[in-house]
Amino acid sequence: MESLERILVEHPFLKDLSPEHVHLIVGCARNIVFEPNKFLFKENEEAHEFYILRSGKVALEIYTPEYGPITIQTIGEGEVLGWSWLIPPYEWNFDGRATELTRAIALDGKCLRGKCEDDHVLGYELMKRLASVFEQRLYAMRLQLLDVYSGTTPKIKK
Amino acid sequence: MNHSIMDPMIPHPYKIQRVIKETHDTFTLELKSIEKNGTFSFAPGQFNMLYIAGIGEVPISISGNPTKNGSLIHTTRAVGTVTKEMAKLKRSDVIGIRGPFGTNWPVKEAEGNDVLLVAGGIGLAPLRPVIYHILSKREYFGKIILLYGTRTPQDILFRKELEKLKSRLDIDIYVTVDRATRAWNGNVGVVTRLIPRAPFDPINTIAMICGPEIMMRYTITEISRRGIASENIYVSVERNMKCGIGLCGHCLYGTEFICKDGPVFRYDQIQNIFGKREF
Ligand SMILES: Cc1cc2nc3c(=O)[nH]c(=O)nc-3n(C[C@H](O)[C@H](O)[C@H](O)COP(=O)(O)OP(=O)(O)OC[C@H]3O[C@@H](n4cnc5c(N)ncnc54)[C@H](O)[C@@H]3O)c2cc1C
Ligand code: FES
């Protein structure tokens, strides 16, 4: 537990969170490793975890009949992954696949929701941090949608 | 080019020595002057006007090595009338060159600093001479970081060269694409997503950005968040051109002529007009 606590304190997502709150979160945390090509989660499955990535890379994929799985974004070291644990019906909207050896701290979503309900200061603190992640991802997604490099580029190859 | 000051409006004939197909729509021409004593020197970031007889003339940055004399190198994406025609040219064909014109990337000012290069799409071509320059004087610079974003893995420019550079231990290269299938194991997402974790020291970093204007805008927002001051940010701005030497007014951008006051600008000097629709 102590080493998990140390890892969490050092992660950019939880930077400057009070030691008491980190301690509360540790109660929901477990260390986890994904081999390359292992799925962290699949679309429509219950989203019961939230991942704090320590190293490696995870591809968020959507399956398309035309091209098969398309990677829409990769998430890497120092980032967090997943907010479906927070929003009913608590189901994943994408597949999440480790593209290389990936180390993460998995936080149990139900446990975390419970802690946030019990301690609104912790809840607000986490929501602020997640809102900032939402904002950055939305910002990036808008630019991606603009397809600024398009012009005469053909469709992607299989 | 030793004659460029004398007669900047006259194109000089260059023979194509080699055509390299970089991607499905982008190609590199290696050119050599046909004229006697036709040597060519340039600073990273400068451009030439490339003329195809009977078709037209377009500004294209020089993408070769500024520390080596010899052939003149241009990398072009075929988008319209002139560049599509240029894409059909073959070895031994001749094209007209005027230049070099315009301002250059601040390679001298960057000495003693970390250097952050952010390129989008064909924007890697005008930054390639900076990489050559820096690597030829590597010990004068701090960390060198190249962040490159493009559309798909098939659109990655200078791929082999990037892979070779990546194997050096003194330059950090991160590539990302906007979309990919599972065949690509690298990053997917826009180039700005690489910025939060890029290993530069914001107060001692000179940033040079080249790509579509909107990508440069988002990049500036993100690197400013990391703490790089606007006077340490440089961008390359593109507009249509005719004369290339500040005579015709075609490239006017606010009060600046892109052809002679640019294309490379220090961001704080154009901050009030950069990205504004009316300019
Ligand atoms: C200083 C400077 C340096 C440049 N350096 C390079 C370079 O190194 N390599 C390079 O490939 N290009 C470069 N360009 C852009 C290049 O000049 C244009 O792509 C070219 O002028 C287009 O001419 P065209 O006759 O082929 O297209 P046009 O027939 O004039 O245009 C056809 C269509 O293409 C669109 N278009 C025009 N330019 C672009 C563009 N840049 N990107 C996407 N769509 C475009 C137009 O909106 C139009 O719809 C540079 C431009 C400037 C000002
Ligand atoms: S192109 Fe003529 S003034 Fe710039």
The interface pTM score, or ipTM, of the predicted complex is: 0.87
pLDDT of residue A154: 47
pLDDT band for position A151 (cuts 50, 70, 90):
low
Mutate to test the interface with B, among A143, A146, A155, A157 (most CBs of B within 10 A): A143
Closest C-alpha among A92, A96, A110 to residue A44: A92
The answer to whether A59 and A71 have CB atoms below 8 angstroms apart is yes
Ligand nearest to the CA of B77: 1
Percent of chain B with pLDDT over 70: 97
Q: Do A149 and B178 touch (CB under 8 A)?
A: yes
**Res. A155: pLDDT tops 70:** no
Q: Rounded CA gap, B145 and B141, in Å?
A: 11
Give the atom of ligand 1 at the shortest distance from the alpha carbon of B85.
26
Work out the average pLDDT over B54-75.
93
**Res. A124: pLDDT tops 50:** yes
Give exposure, A52-90, as e/b (b: 16+ Cβ within 10 Å).
bbbebbbbbbeeeeebebbbbbbbbeebbbbebbbeeee
Summarised one tens digit per residue, pLDDT across range A81-117 is 988 999 999 999 999 999 999 999 999 999 999 999 9
The protein residue whose alpha carbon is closest to atom 21 in ligand 1 is: B58
Q: How far is the CA of B10 from the centre of ligand 2 (A)?
A: 15
Work out the average pLDDT over B54-61.
95
Tokens of B119: 């390129």
Work out the average pLDDT over B268-273.
90
The protein residue whose alpha carbon is closest to atom 50 in ligand 1 is: B60
Q: Best substitution site from B251, B253, B261 to test ligand 2's pocket, by max atoms within 8 Å of Cβ?
A: B251
Q: How far is the CA of B55 from the centre of ligand 1 (A)?
A: 14
Q: Rounded CA gap, A32 and B161, in Å?
A: 37
Ligand nearest to the CA of B100: 1
The protein residue whose alpha carbon is closest to atom 3 in ligand 2 is: B246
Give the atom of ligand 2 at the shortest distance from the alpha carbon of B257.
4
Work out the average pLDDT over B26-44.
89
**Res. A1: pLDDT tops 70:** no
If contacts are CB pairs under 8 Å, which of residues 69-88 in chain A contact chain B? 69-74, 76-78
pLDDT of residue A146: 87
Q: Rounded CA gap, B29 and A87, in Å?
A: 54
pLDDT band for position A150 (cuts 50, 70, 90):
confident
pLDDT band for position A36 (cuts 50, 70, 90):
very high
pLDDT of residue A153: 44
Average pLDDT of every residue of chain A: 91
Tokens of B114: 């970390």
Work out the average pLDDT over B108-112.
96
pLDDT of residue B212: 93
A39 contact B CB<8A: no
Ligand nearest to the CA of B101: 1
Q: Do B215 and A148 touch (CB under 8 A)?
A: yes
pLDDT of residue B279: 65
Which residue is closest to A59 within chain B, CA to CA?
Answer: B188
pLDDT of residue A66: 86
Q: Rounded CA gap, B230 and B43, in Å?
A: 23
If contacts are CB pairs under 8 Å, which of residues 71-90 in chain B contact chain A? 77-79
CA distances from B257 to B12, B247, B279 (A): 24, 9, 12
Q: Do B182 and A69 touch (CB under 8 A)?
A: yes
CB proximity list for A56: less than 8 A, separation 6 or greater: A34, A76, A77, A98, A99, A100, A101, A102, A103, A104
Work out the average pLDDT over A30-50.
95
pLDDT band for position B40 (cuts 50, 70, 90):
confident
Q: Do A57 and B187 touch (CB under 8 A)?
A: yes
Tell me the whole-structure pTM to 2 decimals: 0.92
Q: Which residues of A touch B214 (CB under 8 A)?
A: 143, 146, 148
Residue B116 dihedral angles phi and psi, to the nearest 5°: -110, 120
pLDDT of residue A152: 46
When mean pLDDT is compared across B18-22, B35-39, B146-150, B228-232, the lowest value belongs to B35-39
pLDDT band for position B223 (cuts 50, 70, 90):
very high
The protein residue whose alpha carbon is closest to atom 30 in ligand 1 is: B80
pLDDT band for position B8 (cuts 50, 70, 90):
confident
- Coil/strand/helix, residue A59: strand
Which residue is closest to B180 within chain A, CA to CA?
Answer: A71
Within 13 Å, how many C-alpha atoms sit on residue A89's CB side?
Answer: 6
